[in-house]
Amino acid sequence: MPLTEKEIRERTTPPNLKPKEKHFLSVYLDESNPNYTNGVQAVKDAYGYTNYGTAAVKASRLLKRDNIQLAAEALMEKYGAGEDVRFSRMAEIINGKYTSHQTITHKTADGEPKSSTEYTRSPTPKEVLTAIDVVNKTQGVYETNRLKREVLSEELRGLFRKFAPQPPGKSKGKGKA
């Protein structure tokens, strides 16, 4: 069931969202929408953008903002899709314990059901990798690793400068010997 603007407004009052931000979240978090969690499409709908690149930049900026994240988390908790539920589902996908079931009913020419077939599908390797990637992103693993690399790089540069051989004719002292 899609969220109404009023529901969004009532549930997101603490972060003080603007009307377009509320509309963005209502589109972004609407599970009945085929573009569910598609930030670009949500921006195009809420802000009227037509250029994909511009909408992608706007979506990225919106989704990084604290007030948007707080409002989105509050809405997801309310509708049973909070962080614990999401991580549990991701763990099921990663560990191969999540399966989706689909039943197709076959009908006769006059529309009467004659038989049904049930399909069960486990996550593909790509879906497992995507789940791992999502968990890593939400846990800040990539950002932490990036910061560690930057610090290590700066430390190594300092060591290289300290121990690098000096070109001939240049001395570390203040004058010529």
Residue that is last in its domain, among 21, 49, 81: 81
Clarify whether residues 63 and 106 are in a common domain: no
CA 143 to CA 121: how far, in whole Å?
33
Domain around 135: 82-165
In this structure, are residues 30 and 79 in contact, taking their beta carbons and an 8 Å threshold? no
In this structure, are residues 73 and 82 in contact, taking their beta carbons and an 8 Å threshold? yes
Residue 96: what pLDDT?
Answer: 73
Counted domains in the chain: 2
Clarify whether residues 64 and 99 are in a common domain: no
In this structure, are residues 21 and 39 in contact, taking their beta carbons and an 8 Å threshold? no
CA distances from 93 to 35, 43, 76, 141, 142 (A): 21, 29, 19, 19, 20
Residue 144: what pLDDT?
Answer: 74
User: Per the domain annotation, does 173 fall within a domain?
Assistant: no
Distance of CA 120 to the CA centre of its chain: 27
* Residue 111 three-state SS: coil
The one-digit pLDDT tens for each residue of the chain (177 residues) are 566 666 665 654 555 788 999 889 888 887 777 777 788 999 999 999 999 999 999 999 998 888 888 888 777 777 666 566 666 777 777 777 767 666 777 788 888 877 777 777 777 778 777 777 777 776 677 777 777 777 778 877 777 777 777 777 665 555 554
User: Per the domain annotation, does 41 fall within a domain?
Assistant: yes
Clarify whether residues 105 and 133 are in a common domain: yes
Clarify whether residues 88 and 42 are in a common domain: no
Residue that is last in its domain, among 25, 47, 81: 81
Residue that is last in its domain, among 81, 107, 127: 81
Residue 176: what pLDDT?
Answer: 52
- Which of 79, 68, 67, 72 has its CA nearest to residue 32? 79
Tokens of 132: 């791992």
Clarify whether residues 106 and 143 are in a common domain: yes
User: Per the domain annotation, does 21 fall within a domain?
Assistant: yes
Clarify whether residues 42 and 16 are in a common domain: yes
User: Per the domain annotation, does 96 fall within a domain?
Assistant: yes
* Residue 116 three-state SS: strand
Clarify whether residues 107 and 145 are in a common domain: yes
CA 129 to CA 123: how far, in whole Å?
10
Residue 127: what pLDDT?
Answer: 75
Residue 115: what pLDDT?
Answer: 76
Clarify whether residues 75 and 89 are in a common domain: no
Q: How many CB atoms lie within 10 A of CB 153?
A: 10
Question: Residue 3 carries which DSSP code?
Answer: P
Residue 92: what pLDDT?
Answer: 77
Clarify whether residues 120 and 69 are in a common domain: no
CA 176 to CA 96: how far, in whole Å?
71
CA 39 to CA 131: how far, in whole Å?
18
